[in-house]
Amino acid sequence: MGQVLIFAWLSNLLGLGVGSLLLFVWAVVSLALTWGDSKEKLPFKGKEVGGLLVLAVLLVLILLVLIKRLLLRLLKMQKGGRAWSFAFFSSLIFWLLGIGLSLPVSWLLWRRVQNSSLN
């Protein structure tokens, strides 16, 4: 039971920490790319920001899978293909749960702001 708790907490905290750092770097780079008229000088007129976002999100998911797999190996909990599939699916569920909860809340808040600005 102790190894399971260590695995769950440590993998999610490391994943969130590294993921937050990567997304922060993405935000700073995006801000730098879109500051003033500098995005007009880029080859795709600023569409690189969307590509960077997709890359950052995929990188966060891949790093979360690798962190979970590394912790499974270090804690000697599972080996082989089952460990890789567990690391992938648990990371995917953890990731989708965060998006699945934040999107409806963001949409509801946006609708509330829209409705209050109309009145």
Give 76-104 pLDDT, tens digit per residue.
Answer: 776 667 767 777 777 778 778 877 888 88
Q: Give the whole-angstrom CA distance, residue 66 versus residue 15.
A: 9
pLDDT in the model for residue 79? 67
Residue 43: is its pLDDT beyond 70? Answer: yes
pLDDT in the model for residue 38? 67
Q: Give the whole-angstrom CA distance, residue 78 versus residue 76.
A: 6
Q: Give the whole-angstrom CA distance, residue 88 versus residue 64.
A: 8
pLDDT in the model for residue 119? 61
What range defines the domain where residue 59 resides? 2-118
Residue 10: is its pLDDT beyond 70? Answer: yes
Helix or strand (DSSP H, E) at 35 = none
Residue 29: is its pLDDT beyond 70? Answer: yes
Average pLDDT in the chain = 78
Please state the domain count of the chain.
Answer: 1
Query: pLDDT tens for residues 51-83?
Result: 877 888 888 888 888 888 888 888 877 666 776
